[in-house]
Amino acid sequence: MMGRLVFAAATSHVGAIVKNAHADPDVSAALHTAWEELDEDIAAAEPDAVVVVATDHYETFGLENYPSFCLGLAEEHQGWGEFGNPAPTVRGRPDIAARLLAGLTERGFEAARSHTMRLDHSFTVPLTKLPSAARTGIVPLFVNCNTEPLPTLRRCYDLGRALAATTRALPGGTRVGVLATGGLSHWVGLPRFGEINERFDRELLALLEQGRAEDVLDWSDDHITGAAGNGALELRTWLLAAGAAGGPARVYAYRPMPAWTVGIGISGFEIAEEAS
């Protein structure tokens, strides 16, 4: 029996989601409701493991060793708890992670591996909001979204496609979900900190809803940072999820959230027949 990709989703991950959860309650309430709905859908998909696709903010990786992609193969993954962010200990799925690593290598993606990989807020905040994914057990997949040279958008999308193909080759009907985290528009450590480009965010989400993720792949990093900030470079994780799923997005919710300094998006993706 072949493995199956049973869900793919993407969400923003800013720490204020949990540290200042009820800021601007007229807006944030709809977002919390959307996370609850997504969490119910993750539970209903009954995954055996969730590949959490996120980045890092110089907690786990530094300039002495900064990979483009890295899979975590630990039995447990400890959160850093940096700056008051969540610091859970999350169960890993090293058996599934090892098979995914081997399959991705066969398909031309020599991701690094870590047997001691810790998690910053880009992993722990979404897992706090989506406890069904955390309970399942995770395979953390780090993507470099902030330290040049970055993997191209197309490379990240193609990695998602390779991840889906690798999942289908897993033995025993293994059920895998993909949860991407990052973005949307925001400026980090720059004079425009706190700004949000709602137009950019909605354009991106509309393309994903129309199943046109490939239209985004030729966007330059200069265009992205100029229009939506250096934090929007994290849309690489969304494109990886879109590549894995192969189908259009469903947007659970989008709100510009100045109180959290980020455009917050929460989306799922339809799993195309060839990806399932």
* Residue 117 Cα distances to 34, 50, 76, 92, 133, angstroms: 29, 16, 9, 10, 18
Q: Which residue numbers are catalytic? A: 121, 186
CB 143 within 8 A of CB 55: yes
* Alpha carbons 31 and 121: distance in angstroms, whole number: 18
Q: What is the pLDDT along the chain (276 residues), one digit of tens a residue?
A: 899 999 999 999 999 999 999 999 999 999 999 999 999 999 999 999 999 999 999 999 998 899 999 999 999 999 999 999 999 999 999 999 999 999 999 999 999 999 999 999 999 999 999 999 999 999 999 999 999 999 999 999 999 999 999 999 999 999 999 999 999 999 998 889 899 999 999 999 999 999 999 999 999 999 999 999 999 999 999 999 999 999 999 999 999 999 999 999 999 999 997 766
Query: Alpha-carbon distance 32 to 255, whole Å?
Result: 11
Query: CA–CA separation, 275 vs 167, rounded Å?
Result: 9
pLDDT at position 190: 84
* Pair of tokens at residue 16: 């204020």
- Read off the pTM: 0.97
Q: For 235, which DSSP code?
A: H
**Which helix or strand (DSSP H or E) is residue 112 part of?**
strand 112-114
CA dihedral 137, 83, 156, 39 (to 10 degrees): 40
Alpha-carbon distance of 262 to 74, in angstroms, equals 31
The token pair that represents 102 in the structure block: 């081997």
CA distance 155 to 158: 5
Name the nearest CA neighbour of 208 among 169, 185, 182, 235.
235
Nearest-angstrom CA–CA distance, 211 and 206: 9
> Residue 172 region, left (φ>0) first, then alpha (ψ -120 to 50), else beta?
left
Say what the pLDDT of residue 184 is: 98
- Give me 34's structure tokens: 């959307």
- Domains belonging to the chain, first-starting first, are 4-255 (3.40.830.10)
DSSP state of 233: G
